[in-house]
Structure 1
Amino acid sequence: MKTLQKIMNFSSGMVNEKLLERQDSDILATGCSLLKNLMCSPFGSVYTRNGMKKLAEVTTEITGDAYRLVPFIFSNTQVYLFLFTNELLRIFFNDQLISSLNIDYTSSQIAVLKYAQEENMIVFTHPDVPPKMIVRKETSGQITFEYNDFVIKEIPRYSFDKVVIPNETVASFKFTLGDKAEGHISITVNEPAGFQFQETDIGGYIDSPVDQGAGRARITSITTGSNTASAETIITASAETIIPFYEASKQYSGTLERNYEPSWSAARGWPVSCAFFNQRLWFGGSKSRPASIWASRVGQYDNFENTANYENDAIDITIASNTVDSISDLFVNRGIQIFTDGGEWVIPEGAVSAQNIYIQKQTPNGIYKNIMPVNINGATIFIERNGVALMNFLYTNEQSAFSTESMSAVFGDFKNPVAMAADINPGADSGNIIYIVQAGGKMICADFLPTRNTSAFSIFETRGKYKDALSVASETYFIVEDSGRFFLEKETKGMRSDLTEAINLTTPDQTFTMSDHYDMDRLTLYTDQKELKRGTPEAPADYLVDGHTVTMTLPPDGFAPATLYYGYPFDFEMQSTKISIEQYSENVFKRIARAVITCNNTRRLYFCDLKRESAAPDDISSPPKNIYEYWGVTNPAKDLRYSFEGNSIYPVEILSAVMNITYGGA
């Protein structure tokens, strides 16, 4: 028999099953075939995820399960959480419900909402609904929120069915100007006889030919008057010149573009996405103009009027592309990033105006609709259009352009995403965490370090199903469904169960009442110092909830008042990839003869179903052992793997595994 020593860490996280036979790849030495309810650290260790504290039950009586979390950050000390449900908005502050507002978004519309915040106002867009806003107000120290329509003073106009005269029915078009040929001018039509301007001419253009000066003006309004000599009604137009006309006193033969209407309406649809940038409010895409982008006048977020392409005028521009580029998201990062279903575009940072704007295509991936991108340390993270890859959109100096790279190429379980959140951790002891909720109720967790361009994935499961996730101001919140009821939960460091509540434990003999959703469940009870066990040390550490109550009987010796936590513990598990010998995974029989597992703050560890624990695993005031040694771990096998498993009541952090592998035979 021969012996080979293997030193393993877990920095690559959970890897695709298709890689398990790629024994020539270094990723197998640092990857796992399964990583459940464990997280990867930047240093190659894995550790038990945090538990979750129950903040509120948010079940509604409306059929359907649409729940949406949205952040509102007014300052570092005033961070609010908006929870949208069917026609109801609940507002949380410091993890407490402070207000509720009636809204007109339905369950089917909530998932499609896009939003952008500027100081005390957040604007929402939906392709079927006029933009809305929520405004924070403070009067005499009293803070309130108001939900209203976002009223736009001047909606940009567009001709969806343009008509140009003269044409086959109108032989000629002649007009005269008022007392000036440049700036704000008036226009009267002389031919055809009896011609009248119409409402649909507003936004249209009047042009004179090159041989008459090539003037151009945009109609801004129409005015009704009368000719006192003939008693005829005359409708004149006011316009702003884009190119000055030759002179005011001249009669021009020219053209009129007409059939203009508001770009957004109930018939044409409303903006899909929004963003604030360079003192403008930007809208992206609509049902009738899916590849168009609009920006308000500078400093006037509710005004989209363009008088004559002045520096502060509103902007109306359309992506010119030979592919399908319906806009899904606008994202501010080194300019405006435009995410469409056909690719990623950029309006570069710098001065932008109606006369100075251009859109550059960067990459051709396309975005997965209804999941907004997130920013991690300058990198924009988004999900590609098929929902099967997590992408990193990042500016590179080498190319002087943006490029994309799949962050999930080695991860095999990326599918059916419904929500995404990013928890940015600037500290050296943890990476940036990306949460992706899946349609089936599980959640993908990715530890991402942009500076090293590495990411490590794992799978989270909880009692019930994850429905939504949001990270705001270094706190992460989840909506979880459990047996048809919905709960708002918060990830909490050191918490060892999910849907966790707390009471004050004052006596060793105590009966207390729990929320009704715990009835007839077995719960784990613990304090900051120890788990409250019943029976023998090997017995399950749970209490039966009967009639919403629990009766505790604890030994009076050594009892001290404490905060008592109760909730649902969760299992964690890690399964390794195949252990190879000379880059072959199943060529010979092999076994783990000895293993030394180095840990941190780990009081109980199951390695390949073999248990090791500290002298007092239930008392966290006693020092943990942290180095666990195992002998004769496995039987000989060609497909040899190892595993760690356990329960969240005994969290682990596994730093490394050193194993002696004996092998031989055919």
Structure 2
Amino acid sequence: MAFSWIQPSFAGGEIGPSLYGRIDMAKYQVALRKCDNFIVRQYGGVENRPGTRFVAAAKYPDRKCRLIPFQFSTVQTYALEFGHNYMRVIKDGALVLTSSNAIYELAMPYAEDDLFRIKFTQSADVLTLVHPNYPPKELRRYAHDNWQIVDVETNNGPFEDINVTETSTVYASAPTGIITLTASQEIFGSEQVGKLFYLEQPAVDSVPVWETSKETVINDIRRAESNYYRANTAGKTGTLRPSHTEGMAWDGWGGTGDDDTGIQWEYLHSGFGIVRITAVASDGKSATATVISRIPENVVGSTKASYKWARFAWNSVNGYPGTVVYYQQRLYFAASTAYPQTIWASRTGDYKDFGKNNPIQDDDRIIYTYAGRQVNEIRHLIDVGSLVVLTSGGEFVVTGDQNKVLTPSAFSLSSQGSNGCSNIPPIAVANIALFVQEKGSVVRDLAYSFDVDGYQGNDLTILANHLFQKRSIVDWCFSIVPYSCAFCVRDDGKLLALTYLRDQQVFAWSPQSGPGKYESTCSISEANEDAVYFIVNRTINGQVVRYIERLSSRLFTDDIDAFFVDSGLSYDGRNSGSRTATISGGSGDWSYQQDYTLTISGTAYFGSGDVGAQIQFPYSEYDSDAGEVVDKQLRCDIISVIGSNAVTISANRNIPAALRNTATTNWLMARRTFAGLNHLEGQTVNILSDASVEPQKVVSGGAVTLEKPGGVVHIGLPIDAQFETLDVNINGQETLLDKKQLINTVTLVVNASRGIWASTPGGKWYEYPQREFEFYDDPVDDATGKVEIKLDSNWDKNGRVKIKQTDPLPLSVLAVIPRLTVGGF
């Protein structure tokens, strides 16, 4: 029995061997047995992965580095190379240079081993960086080549819990200026130098609150909300309207009109004081400090020691916050070493202020410690419409008041699952969180579900479990345009692509193989799409190197711009200015058998080394064989140099009428030898020259020589892209898995593709014969639509088809239609 069967989509991606028998599963009908160096598109087809362009070598070939995105806006974006105690800046595919053409570099505190524990969040030109072993930092951008790294200096905290042990007391030597703090016990350590310290007066309620129509004498002290005032004149108290400013002596007055009693009030303090410690004594019982917020007089002097004190929450002993995020106009930190379940949030609208009022106000700072059944470290805070907390043991959403606003009195964690999260930063895709589960071998999503009025998620790796056995993900990024794809770096250097589109139920994995080991990645917006950068560990000419490479765009309209080589470089000889080229000296039909003069306008252009190069002219002409207007190329070999602006040429065809004695700006300078390939010394490279495939070459002396000159040339490491279908099975009919099959032909539905090869398992590869009406020297036209390839398969039980692309050309397959003949058992 002979029949055709169609696989109309590949939206299932590559699935693992453990699922080869799951013909009952809907994903089986759209999945692949192998999908190497192809990317599954959102609409269901597969495209061979574009190549990576070489940007630069990382600073240290023998040290790891990490890429971190910095996006001020959609047009001002950077990829930051974080390495051992340094940072370099990449913009638009190149390292940023200083005015003296040196690579711009900024000294950084982070060591190589700490780079992948850095977490970050951004607000405009400031990137906030946190790490458990380093004080929080701010990376500030002032210009492409002007950046600054500084410590985050907070106000009014955050502090540890206030001491409640009455035998442990502290007093200050003075209310302002440089003072000495003296403690009854050893509470000061060297880790507190440079940190804030909190000291509160005891028995706050002993001070009367503000009362109107009450007699006041000089030196009376009154409290209004959390502020304290002293009367410097006597009289009857009116309505207090203070506009207190620290350090100003006469800044509060009584009411006006009938209430105005003329009492002058001096603002004292807020019931507590804050100092910054500058030195500590060796016994740990005293410290020198600078007053930041006036110390209450009730704790000044040895007879007024207070047990209400608190040290700064973050230091080298307690550790520093491990994650950070902006949410609802607050800056949230969480999870230091000593407080792995604590969240600290700034005041609303003031990201550095961790102060509070008395009584507490809704815009005051928030300090919340989650008390769970297990002490699971908070790993990440992420904004996906709600504030989601991912811990090592579970997922939580933070709930607030009835308006979903988070305040000190309305802040709680609601459990959404118990999968746990690794230290790899999660990715926010719209209002969905993608995260790597604890141990790093499972990727999950987390999205709000109306069905349960909460957040639910799926295991996105269950169908491709073979890609994660005994492996984990160490870094990843997400490219929204054009791929809707997460690029994941595995711990062994393998790159995996996850096409993810939740509303279409698309999650498809495809491994990306090659000779290098990927170590880090990031994605930033550039031009009309998201540019993906990689750090790749390669062995070149026997030496280990680390390169920064950028995934090339697949949004091209002409194969001349097709870039399908890795770690590659391009030469573009297209005239991009106002220079014109004119061919003269012809007669009759301007035959290709005679020589002509070619003149370039403008300043001196040609030199003796240009003999053997070529000037090319793209043009359009009606082709009677094809029956339509087609694009063509006139190639003119330079055989001698007449002067700095004129050469003698020999053309490959008759000079078309449109180019005779006519100045045109549409021309290219084509060359044969290309240098500057030192980063690929000794490597065999693929070459695409003027949209035609050149024979492979070996880079020697940093250069290669082509068989013929090229005007637009791409050179880099080969990419072998290949996919294989699953065994054919037809739902609702008797299974074919146990029957012998013969596949004589396969029809592919392709889009803008060239260099199409097909085979069956163990069979010979056959190429689709694509050249038709093209001139012998012109590139082959792309194929779009249905193409049929003959196969010489054998009778067996492997009803599968294999498709590959080894040339640096585009291949986009939308459907596979094998023609099968099925035998008996």
TM-score, structure 1 normalization: 0.82
From the superposition, tell whether residues 221 and 496 of structure 1 become closer, same or farther in structure 2 (CA, over 3 Å).
same
Residues 121, 134 of structure 1: 8 Å contact kept: yes
Give a deviation string over 1:133-166, Cα, whole Å, max 9, x none.
111226xxx8621111112233322249863669
Residues 771, 780 of structure 2: 8 Å contact kept: no
Aligned mates of 1:572, 1:345 — CA distance in 2: 41
Q: SS at the partner of 1:302?
A: coil
Structure 1 residue ranges without an equivalent (≥5) = 188-200, 204-219, 238-255, 534-540
**More displaced stretch, 609-618 vs 511-520:** 609-618
2:225 alignment partner in structure 1: 183
1:72 alignment partner in structure 2: 70
Please tell me whether residue 515 in structure 1 is matched to residue 671 in structure 2: no
**Selected match of 1:496 from 557, 564, 569:** 564
Count of paired positions: 586
From the superposition, tell whether residues 438 and 583 of structure 1 become closer, same or farther in structure 2 (CA, over 3 Å).
farther
> Offset of 1:480 from its aligned partner?
0.9
Larger-gyration structure (1/2)? 2
> Offset of 1:514 from its aligned partner?
2.4
Aligned mates of 1:299, 1:185 — CA distance in 2: 22
Residues 222, 235 of structure 1: 8 Å contact kept: no
Please tell me whether residue 578 in structure 1 is matched to residue 740 in structure 2: no
1:39 alignment partner in structure 2: 39
Residues 38, 48 of structure 2: 8 Å contact kept: yes
Please tell me whether residue 422 in structure 1 is matched to residue 478 in structure 2: yes
Give a deviation string over 1:102-154, Cα, whole Å, max 9, x none.
1111001110000011111111000011001111226xxx8621111112233
1:113 alignment partner in structure 2: 118
**More displaced stretch, 608-617 vs 486-495:** 608-617
1:604 alignment partner in structure 2: 755
Matches within 5 A, 1:47-196: 47-60=47-60, 63-65=62-64, 67-98=65-96, 99-137=104-142, 144-159=146-161, 163=165, 177-178=206-207, 179-180=221-222, 183-184=225-226
Aligned mates of 1:35, 1:86 — CA distance in 2: 36
Q: SS at the partner of 1:28?
A: helix
Q: SS at the partner of 1:542?
A: strand
Q: SS at the partner of 1:288?
A: coil
Please tell me whether residue 305 in structure 1 is matched to residue 374 in structure 2: no
2:440 alignment partner in structure 1: 387
Please tell me whether residue 476 in structure 1 is matched to residue 532 in structure 2: yes
> Offset of 1:573 from its aligned partner?
1.1
Aligned mates of 1:435, 1:50 — CA distance in 2: 13
1:353 alignment partner in structure 2: 407
Report the residue type matching 2:418 in the other structure: P
Aligned mates of 2:716, 2:705 — CA distance in 1: 15
From the superposition, tell whether residues 301 and 623 of structure 1 become closer, same or farther in structure 2 (CA, over 3 Å).
closer
From the superposition, tell whether residues 376 and 613 of structure 1 become closer, same or farther in structure 2 (CA, over 3 Å).
farther
Aligned mates of 2:809, 2:506 — CA distance in 1: 29
**Selected match of 2:770 from 611, 614, 621:** 614
Aligned mates of 2:674, 2:160 — CA distance in 1: 66
Report the residue type matching 2:385 in the other structure: R
From the superposition, tell whether residues 13 and 620 of structure 1 become closer, same or farther in structure 2 (CA, over 3 Å).
farther
Aligned mates of 1:454, 1:524 — CA distance in 2: 33
1:364 alignment partner in structure 2: 418
From the superposition, tell whether residues 553 and 578 of structure 1 become closer, same or farther in structure 2 (CA, over 3 Å).
closer
Aligned mates of 1:583, 1:69 — CA distance in 2: 52
Report the residue type matching 1:523 in the other structure: V
Residues 686, 696 of structure 2: 8 Å contact kept: yes
**More displaced stretch, 378-387 vs 349-358:** 349-358
> Offset of 1:235 from its aligned partner?
2.3
**Selected match of 2:688 from 526, 546, 570:** 526
> Offset of 1:385 from its aligned partner?
1.2
> Offset of 1:580 from its aligned partner?
3.6
Give a deviation string over 1:444-494, Cα, whole Å, max 9, x none.
111111212221110012331111111111111111111221111111123
Aligned mates of 1:136, 1:630 — CA distance in 2: 56
Residues 368, 387 of structure 1: 8 Å contact kept: yes
Residues 163, 259 of structure 1: 8 Å contact kept: no
Q: SS at the partner of 1:7?
A: coil
1:208 alignment partner in structure 2: none
**Selected match of 1:235 from 304, 308, 329:** 304
> Offset of 1:663 from its aligned partner?
1.9
Structure 2 residue ranges without an equivalent (≥5) = 97-103, 169-183, 185-201, 208-220, 230-271, 275-292, 554-561, 574-609, 615-670, 760-764
Report the residue type matching 1:457 in the other structure: W
Report the residue type matching 2:324 in the other structure: C
**Selected match of 2:345 from 295, 307, 316:** 295
- In proportion to residue count, which structure has more strand? 1
Aligned mates of 1:111, 1:596 — CA distance in 2: 47
1:438 alignment partner in structure 2: 490
1:273 alignment partner in structure 2: 323
Residues 431, 449 of structure 1: 8 Å contact kept: no
Give a deviation string over 1:161-199, Cα, whole Å, max 9, x none.
863669xx9xxx989834446634789xxxxxxxxxxxx
**More displaced stretch, 487-496 vs 121-130:** 487-496
> Offset of 1:641 from its aligned partner?
2.3
From the superposition, tell whether residues 202 and 550 of structure 1 become closer, same or farther in structure 2 (CA, over 3 Å).
same
Report the residue type matching 1:150 in the other structure: V
> Offset of 1:551 from its aligned partner?
2.9
1:564 alignment partner in structure 2: 713
Residues 161, 310 of structure 2: 8 Å contact kept: yes
> Offset of 1:329 from its aligned partner?
0.7
Q: SS at the partner of 1:614?
A: coil
Please tell me whether residue 630 in structure 1 is matched to residue 789 in structure 2: yes
Q: SS at the partner of 2:39?
A: strand
2:385 alignment partner in structure 1: 334
From the superposition, tell whether residues 133 and 51 of structure 1 become closer, same or farther in structure 2 (CA, over 3 Å).
same
**Selected match of 2:430 from 350, 358, 377:** 377
Q: SS at the partner of 1:109?
A: helix
> Offset of 1:225 from its aligned partner?
7.6
Please tell me whether residue 262 in structure 1 is matched to residue 312 in structure 2: yes
**% identical aligned pairs:** 20
Aligned mates of 1:402, 1:16 — CA distance in 2: 28
Residues 84, 110 of structure 1: 8 Å contact kept: yes
Aligned mates of 2:681, 2:505 — CA distance in 1: 47
Report the residue type matching 1:624 in the other structure: A
Aligned mates of 1:315, 1:174 — CA distance in 2: 24
Residues 37, 49 of structure 1: 8 Å contact kept: yes
Please tell me whether residue 547 in structure 1 is matched to residue 701 in structure 2: yes
> Offset of 1:550 from its aligned partner?
2.3
From the superposition, tell whether residues 31 and 504 of structure 1 become closer, same or farther in structure 2 (CA, over 3 Å).
closer
Q: SS at the partner of 1:654?
A: strand
From the superposition, tell whether residues 41 and 510 of structure 1 become closer, same or farther in structure 2 (CA, over 3 Å).
closer
Aligned mates of 1:480, 1:605 — CA distance in 2: 29
Residues 766, 790 of structure 2: 8 Å contact kept: no
Report the residue type matching 1:486 in the other structure: R
2:370 alignment partner in structure 1: 319
Residues 750, 783 of structure 2: 8 Å contact kept: no
Residues 603, 613 of structure 1: 8 Å contact kept: no
From the superposition, tell whether residues 663 and 40 of structure 1 become closer, same or farther in structure 2 (CA, over 3 Å).
same
> Offset of 1:613 from its aligned partner?
2.8
Aligned mates of 1:226, 1:30 — CA distance in 2: 74
Aligned mates of 2:41, 2:802 — CA distance in 1: 18
Residues 614, 625 of structure 1: 8 Å contact kept: no
Report the residue type matching 1:437 in the other structure: V
Q: SS at the partner of 1:354?
A: coil
Report the residue type matching 1:544 in the other structure: V
2:746 alignment partner in structure 1: 595
Aligned mates of 2:550, 2:721 — CA distance in 1: 19
Aligned mates of 1:89, 1:583 — CA distance in 2: 62
Residues 613, 625 of structure 1: 8 Å contact kept: no
From the superposition, tell whether residues 392 and 625 of structure 1 become closer, same or farther in structure 2 (CA, over 3 Å).
closer
From the superposition, tell whether residues 661 and 29 of structure 1 become closer, same or farther in structure 2 (CA, over 3 Å).
same
Aligned mates of 1:365, 1:612 — CA distance in 2: 48
